[in-house]
Amino acid sequence: MRDFERRNRHFDRLVNSRGLRWLGQNTNHLPAHPAVRDALTRSIEDEEFHVYAPPLGLEELRELIVADLGLDGVSSVITDGAIAGLYHTIHTLCRPGDELITTDPTWSWPMTFARSVGATVTQIPIYGDEYGYRLSPERLREAVSGATRIIYLVDPNNPLGCCCTAQEIEEIAEIARSADAYLIHDCTYRDFAHDHHLAARHYPERTITVWSFSKWLGFAGLRIGSLTAEPEIIEQLAAAPPNNLGSNIVAQRGAIAGLKVKSEWFPEVLATTRHNLGLIERTVEGIAGLRVPVTSSNGNFLIVECVEAGVRPEAICSVLSRHDVLVRQGSYHTKTFGDRFIKVSVSTPTEWVEEFCALLPQAIDEARGADADVSLY
């Protein structure tokens, strides 16, 4: 069987595993606000799905996104999830011989998109105590070259949970300007951050802000995201988008409702997320060989280092999967550092996290020295 078939069957098994504890994909599994559910069901009951949505998205949603970001003089376009927006942006702006610079670890798919159009990819390592598990502007400045076309910044970083300071963002924006490069600021997890700063405020002319409804609103399966930038950039992106007939109109109705109730609903999601992060941090403190190197994560996830425990991340994932608990192995995000950690996401019912915490000591013992017996992606 070809690998693409094995990969799809792997995820098909996950989706069809009733009772699975989804602690691996950073997806939000907390109950939606009633107004959001009502908007989704009303759109379906009205059979609104018979029509195409506007090519750039419903006007009300576009306006709400810009207002939520708090940016002036920009335009927003709705995409089929943030990843489709990243695909389209990179395919529109990157040419053969261009360079995309990002971190290691990072969200890996944009690197694949860049290579598919003949661009090269440079990764700046940020994993390890020597780097403080974060990108310093100085190291970015050293990496930029005459070929640099795009700087791709995932902030907060997935999977590490670090987040740039206001000064770091300002310096990174200035570095991008000096290189005449586009800055893709992937803010998928901005709503979980303790303090987040938008690069577009400092470098509006070539910053593209990427945002998703998959995580904060829990719309992963509805596939809706956005790109926000100055009108000149959006004009380029609007010329030949893959979703020129509009993104999921049912999802857009739900997203509108979500943004309208965000201030009353999301604080509880954030409180549960941070409570769950604390449960895992305290559990890890009591298990020899494990540690959480980036505490107070700015995402709805954290990483647990396991290398000192003498256990492979894939083995831990395999053991936990037998208990219907899904966590992610580090190699999903980075080949260089993937053998050092697992990632656990926590915008979930606290009961799921408590189950994970209770299972973790046993899982480490069972996984020590073992090989994973399943294919992981």
Identify whether residues 209 and 331 lie together within a single domain: no
pLDDT, tens digit (0-9, with 9 covering 90-100), for 18-69: 999 999 999 999 999 999 999 999 999 999 999 999 999 999 999 999 999 9
| 138 alpha-carbon distance from chain centroid | 25
Residue 184 main-chain phi, psi, to 5 deg: -90, 110
Domain span holding position 59: 34-260
| R_g of the chain, CA atoms, integer Å | 20
Q: Map residue 224 onto helix, strand or coil.
A: coil
pTM: 0.97
Helical segments of the chain, H only: 3-15, 34-45, 59-69, 81-93, 109-116, 137-143, 166-178, 231-237, 249-285, 313-321, 350-367
CATH number of the domain within which 330 lies: 3.90.1150.10
Res 323: pLDDT: 96
In a domain, 377, yes or no: no
Query: What's the pLDDT tens digit per position in 328-364?
Result: 999 999 999 999 999 999 999 999 999 999 999 999 9
Residue 337 resides in a domain? yes
Same domain, 192 and 302: no
Of the three residues 232, 260, 288, the one that is the final residue of a domain is: 260
Say whether 230 sits in a helix, a strand or coil: coil
Q: Are 291 and 353 part of one and the same domain? A: yes
Contact 212, 85 (CB under 8 A): no
Residue 303 has pLDDT above 80, yes or no: yes
Q: What are the tokens at 117?
A: 């159009």
CATH number of the domain residue 153 falls in: 3.40.640.10
Domain boundary residue among 245, 260, 275? 260
Is 310 in the same domain as 161? no
Residue 376 belongs to some domain of the structure: no
Q: Specify the 3-state DSSP secondary structure of 271.
A: helix
Query: DSSP string covering 296-356, please?
Result: S-SSSEEEEE-GGGT--HHHHHHHHHTTTEE-EEGGGT-TTTGGGEEEEE--S-HHHHHHH
Give me the half-sphere count of Cα atoms (radius 13 Å) on the Cβ side of residue 60.
Answer: 11
Q: Which of these three, 203, 234, 260, is where a domain ends?
A: 260
d(Cα 306, Cα 126) in Å, to the nearest integer?
A: 18
